[in-house]
Structure 1
Amino acid sequence: MAKVLVQRFFQLLAVLWGVSTIVFFLQRMIPGSPADSILGVDASEVDKLEWLTRYGFNEPIWKQYFNFLVNLCQGDLGKSYANYSSVSEIILPRLWETIQLATVAFLFSILLATIIGIISAANAGKFTDKASAVLSLLAISAPSFIIGPVLMWIFAVKFDVFPLMGNEGPSSFVLPSVTLGASLAAFSSRMIRSGIVDVLQEDYIRTAKSKGLSQFIVLTKHALRNAFLPTLTVLGMQLGVLLSGTVITEQIFNWPGLGSLVVEAVQQREYNIVSGCVIIMATIYVACNLLVDILYRVFDPRVRLT
């Protein structure tokens, strides 16, 4: 276990270095400069030159990159060009909003996928199983920018059950979390269903049935744990995606999270904020993969010995 943690730690550092480097150079390849966005198109060339000099944009690119890495190693993500606030202070509240939304969406998807997977496996080949397969295919195929507006029109506009946009309390989580977790729930339910169907052919399952255990106990206590292992990898990776990739859903529902902040920062050419957001997203994604490795070793003794 310790060896895995050390390997993943160095992988995390390599990923963060690679991501931060790519973001740093890509932003500077875009035509124009932050001075155009901050000072406006009517600003004089003298004012723009003074602003660029103040923030070091007139220095050689290698020196800018070196200073960027030095500050990053010290945990300094820089300051906003517009209001001189610390990037960390800007990101943290928005990150918390994204974490809340992604967590609710993730729990919803796990619960729904488990229920549908068990029901489908118990009725393999029957109408219920075929119907769930069709609905899952539709949910996987439909992108969030279609699911979100449809849910908004039905439950917020037509029937006025849930808030339309923003975070106004617990009820505001329902529509964006369903939008965010629908495809994950659909995909995971099919994996759980397939896993349970395969596990039901094992000898220990037949032994459990011969002891007179109910089908519910056999499915949930004996079959689900082993069938859930292949799904665990997908869920872990998707948790990282949910936490770091809610851009479209947050834009649809005007959710004040990290995804919306990235879009705003790109539009305003806030290089430091964009870099900080991307680095945090990459850290979350790698950390989720590390968590999956640990959980896999906890649930599967065969992996624990490697």
Structure 2
Amino acid sequence: MRRSAPTLALRLAVAGLTGLAGLPACTAPDTEAPPAPAGLTAQAGSATSAHVMWDAAADRDGVTGYQVFEAGRLVRELPAEKTMVDITGLTPQTAYAFTVRAEDAAGNLSGPGPAARVTTPAAKAEDRTPPTPPAATTARATGPRSAQVSWTAAADDTGVTAYDVYQGGVRIHTAGPDASATTLDSLRPDTVYTFTVRARDGADNSSPDGPAVDVTTPPASGDGPGTAPAAFTATASPGAVTLTWTAPDTGRATAEYELYVNGRPTTVIQFGAGAVPSGRAEHRLTVTEPPGTVWAVKLRARLPDGNWGSFSAERRITLIA
């Protein structure tokens, strides 16, 4: 019996270890920082502002936000979906150095990466005259996720300091005063974009939009045919708006389209049995808004799998009596 005691104790010890092995393992804390944002640029928007942009982080990096610094001082914090910002309140004729750091869900910060440097121009007193709009705009897709936009130079009594590229009424890019073209990245495959360009001077006066230009990015490899309604038009008439488009090739006739007005879903256009367009489609809307109301309209098709497809080009119209 005395010799069996150690054996019993050993068995109990082994049993205890076996029980411990069944407990969940502790997860090590996330201490790995995301990579520093790439593609950082800065352009002077006026004598007192600068436009800072960078490339979006890859999904695998788990970035939840960005911090923008000027000479090591934190000036803005942004969510992950924002990759550009206007820094205001700057001093004319002053050099600035901006850096951006990425942050993940665990609070890890990336390094700052190389700084983007910019010098603000001199202030122009009492300048209230905007530049002329660029007279011509052209664009072409350079891949499923990129496009090049070009424009002609604008004129201003005190000099153009920047060109702003807009898509759907939202500024998405700023180029320098000597630029006549720029490449836009982080676009979506199989999507119609409508770009316009505005010139800006040192007092932050912006010109009207230059001519709008449409670009359709091609589908990415394996994406299949395009899903955006093509050749979209919108025409105002007294008390009505007429929409026309070419139905996308989705494998079968598309009977349902979602209409957006001024960036918001407004109605679903449905075609009844026997009236589903397979080529050119038309729909007439009755409007009650007052004359002079401006609409920005676009639509997308319901796909055979139940999802919505890509948007058409956006058209701006003014309602008439």
TM-score w.r.t. length of structure 1: 0.23
- The structure that is helix-richer by fraction is 1
Structure showing greater Rg? 2
- The structure that is strand-richer by fraction is 2
